[in-house]
Structure 1
């Protein structure tokens, strides 16, 4: 199986576990805050589902386009840049959101705070030359 195939299967299992357990999953995400983000594909126009870790900072819901420090943005980032409207599932609740990519100064200040909470995101940023984007998801 390809790396992309492996990732799709891994994500599909997370989605199934999330939905079966009211938003709770085990494995590497156990105890973490996870949501399901449905975007519109930037190229295909089709719904695309991504399980993502999220942070709540100052009552704002933030997702990180880290892609584990890869040198490219994850597909969902491209999708949100083209279509800012999306849908999320958090726990047993779901609703529509509007995504806002944080501008540089706001992103830099907030990213430092996220790294304090979850140091792995600092490691991801060090692995890549791209600036890892942050998005705020606001209820539509």
Structure 2
């Protein structure tokens, strides 16, 4: 029998390392990121479970370049999205945390951003949805990814839905 005091948990890479890997894979695979390894799942990484309806290629992501509200430094967040007209809706689930994700605070403070979608970079403006628009987008996302409803219940807060609208040249 193994003595539990002598076993160690698998080493978990830092979130920055994980994001760097996701960003590199996104760029190498035209906007898709293969599902995480069994080791990452076992280590309890803050990654989504495999969602029904998405093949082994993984779930499409976008990379959102945003400016730090406090630091003013550029950050990049890989996020799930829902197409909305010419733009994209993103969801501040933060894996069911009671706190909004940092990228949410950054976009609310600095709504000018850039999105990498597939192999394209698009300047966007972030807008927080409310009321019927938020409810419609959220219901559609929960139908696609039921786990998001669990995240909202665990968080004890309404998950913000942000629409990233392309900046039109004038």
Find the partner of 2:133 among 70, 93, 106. Answer: 106
Find the partner of 1:23 among 12, 18, 31. Answer: 31
Counterpart for residue 42 of structure 2: none
Higher mean C-alpha deviation, range 47-56 or range 98-107: 98-107
Higher mean C-alpha deviation, range 124-133 or range 22-31: 22-31
**Which protein, 1 or 2, shows the higher relative CO under an 8 Å CA cutoff with sep ≥ 6?**
1
Q: Shift in Å at residue 58 of structure 1?
A: 5.1
| Off by >6 Å, runs of 4+ in structure 1 | none
Q: 2 CA distance for matches of 1:137 and 1:108?
A: 17
Q: Shift in Å at residue 90 of structure 1?
A: 0.4
Counterpart for residue 46 of structure 1: 73
Q: 2 CA distance for matches of 1:59 and 1:93?
A: 13
Deviations 1:33-66 (A, max 9, x none): 2000000000000101100011114554110011
Q: Shift in Å at residue 95 of structure 1?
A: 1.2
Counterpart for residue 86 of structure 1: 113
Size of the aligned set, in residue pairs, is 138
Q: 2 CA distance for matches of 1:79 and 1:104?
A: 22
Higher helix share: 1
Give unmatched runs, 5+ long, in structure 2: 1-10, 37-49, 51-56
Q: Which has the larger radius of gyration?
A: 2
Higher mean C-alpha deviation, range 102-111 or range 70-79: 102-111
Q: Shift in Å at residue 139 of structure 1?
A: 0.5
- The alignment's TM-score, normalised by the length of structure 2, stands at 0.75
Q: 2 CA distance for matches of 1:42 and 1:96?
A: 18
Counterpart for residue 66 of structure 1: 93
